[in-house]
Amino acid sequence: MKASVNWMEGWANPPKLEIHLDRYPESGQFVYEETQGCYFAVDQETGVVRYFYYERPGRGYGGRTFDLKMKDGSTRSLIGPWSSRCQCMNEVGFPHSVECVIITEDGCNYAGALLIDVAKEYLRAAEGDAAEFVFDSKENEYTIQRIQP
Annotated domain spans of the chain: 2-146
Query: What's CA 39's distance to the chain center, in Å?
Result: 12
**DSSP state at residue 127:** B
Please report how many Cα atoms fall inside a 13 Å half-sphere around the Cα of residue 81, on the Cβ side.
21
pLDDT band at 67 (very low <50, low <70, confident <90, very high): very high
- Per-residue pLDDT, 127: 86
Residue 128 — pLDDT band, cuts 50, 70, 90?
A: confident
Cβ distance 15 to 7 under 8 Å?
Answer: yes
> Radius of gyration (Cα) for the chain, nearest Å?
16
* The predicted structure's pLDDT at residue 108: 95
In this prediction, residues 103-118 reach a mean pLDDT of: 96
pLDDT at 147 over 80: yes
pTM, rounded to two decimals: 0.93
